[in-house]
Amino acid sequence: MEPPVVGTVRRQGKKLYTTYKVRGYHIDTNDHVNNAVYLNYLEDARDDFLEFLGLSVSSFQSQGILVFLAEVRLKFHRPAEYGDWLEVSGWISTLRRVKSTWKMDIRRAGTDVLLTEAWMNAAFLNTDHRILPIPPEAHSVLETIYIPE
């Protein structure tokens, strides 16, 4: 298999995909990816997906809007190991006035082997940390990757 390009986003239907390579510093004393590292993959993927959609976190910050990760739920199925190529897929599974949920799966690239499932609840805040409705331009873009659970 030709190695994927790390961090390159592609779209298939309503799902977005990107890949990352497991590095030595991702591995813990149990010889697999440390559980906390999965959050890094997921946050990186979410940021890459938002940029791909034209919704960068920095553009919201310049408008005085903060993207707030309120809750993360992970379900581990199998461990990732050193040298694995991981494919992260993501889409919006809940889209309301003020809250959205990213559903994300991590698989061993080129296979159907599910390693980790994640649900990431996000909201938008003003600079006083008060919840805002999802900005209309963001809501309409997120609708394009919305697959209700």
Which residues, in sequence order, are CB contacts of 99 under 8 Å at separation 6+?
70, 121, 122, 123, 134
Q: DSSP label at 53?
A: T
Task: Copy the structure tokens of residue 38.
Answer: 């999965």
E strand intervals along the chain: 10-12, 15-21, 66-76, 85-95, 99-108, 114-125, 131-132
Annotation marks residue 28 as catalytic: yes
Which is the catalytic residue, given 28, 44, 47, 84?
A: 28
The residues that are catalytic are: 28
